[in-house]
A and B are shown apart, each in its own frame.
Chain A
Amino acid sequence: GQQVMQIPQYQHVQEGEDFTTYCNSSTTLSNIQWYKQRPGGHPVFLIQLVKSGEVKKQKRLTFQFGEAKKNSSLHITATQTTDVGTYFCAGPYGGATNKLIFGTGTLLAVQP
């Protein structure tokens, strides 16, 4: 079945270091979304990418959608303790754009 995998599962960084998480889908995606979940909280939407090769930035966060629309990445420059949480990518499930399948997530720990 359709799968969306993320690597790494867990990353521990010192505050100020950079961080990248990678998302890989077994199928081509019409769009990809990224969510952040703080410990004990619920996932919160960060961004959506639609076009092949698209790059979007939100302050220290840079999101990329692969040329083949099967992979994506999230890069955080100079991490801060407020970046702690699990980052999920998500894409349409079974071709239906109103259902999302989520990646396995990357837990980011930031040491002050």
Chain B
Amino acid sequence: NAGVTQTPKFQVLKTGQSMTLQCAQDMNHEYMSWYRQDPGMGLRLIHYSVGAGITDQGEVPNGYNVSRSTTEDFPLRLLSAAPSQTSVYFCASSPGQGTRNTIYFGEGSWLTVV
């Protein structure tokens, strides 16, 4: 049981380049989300999805796009990378709402934009 798998683990981008962070979960969870973590800022929600075909914005969605074509996959796209997007990105999934909203995190993707 792999849980939540993110790729790549490390990436360096030049300003203006685009890329996609991949995320897959094998727990059949309906809810998936992306967080970014910056020093002293905690974890901030970028986008989330409550099921295939449904996505919504979180606290800091600007500069990022997401889609959810299957239950398992939830990629995060940076269309034109900026140095301000240098961060650690965590994909996460959760089985449900209410008391079943415990989050399971992937191991993170370290992104540097130069």
A-to-B contact residues, CB < 8 Å: 1, 9, 30-31, 33, 35, 41-45, 48, 50, 88, 90, 92-93, 96-105
Q: How far is the CA of A30 from the CA of B99 in the complex (A)?
A: 9
**Residues of the B chain whose Cβ atoms lie less than 8 Å from the Cβ of A48:** 99, 102
Q: Do the beta carbons of B43 and A98 come within 8 Å of each other?
A: no
Interface hub of A30, A48, A97 (most chain B Cβ within 10 A): A97
- Give the A-B contact count at a CB cut-off of 8 A: 66
**Residues of the A chain whose Cβ atoms lie less than 8 Å from the Cβ of B114:** none
Question: Whose C-beta in chain A lies nearest to the C-beta of B110?
Answer: A40
B-to-A contact residues, CB < 8 Å: 31, 33, 35, 40-45, 48, 50, 58-59, 90, 94, 96-99, 101-108
Q: How far is the CA of A30 from the CA of B106 in the complex (A)?
A: 25
A-B contact pairs, 25 of them (CB 8 A): A30-B98, A33-B101, A33-B103, A35-B103, A42-B90, A42-B105, A42-B108, A43-B43, A43-B105, A45-B104, A48-B99, A50-B99, A90-B43, A93-B58, A93-B59, A97-B97, A98-B31, A98-B50, A99-B45, A101-B45, A102-B35, A102-B42, A102-B44, A103-B42, A104-B40
State the Cβ distance, B41 to closest chain A Cβ, in Å. 7
State the Cβ distance, A33 to closest chain B Cβ, in Å. 7
Of the candidates B45, B98, B106, B108, the one whose C-beta lies within 8 Å of that of A97 is B98
**Residues of the A chain whose Cβ atoms lie less than 8 Å from the Cβ of B44:** 102
Q: How far is the CA of A101 from the CA of B41 in the complex (A)?
A: 12
**Residues of the B chain whose Cβ atoms lie less than 8 Å from the Cβ of A104:** 40-42
Q: Do the beta carbons of A98 and B97 come within 8 Å of each other?
A: yes
**Residues of the B chain whose Cβ atoms lie less than 8 Å from the Cβ of A44:** 105
**Residues of the A chain whose Cβ atoms lie less than 8 Å from the Cβ of B94:** 98
State the Cβ distance, B37 to closest chain A Cβ, in Å. 9
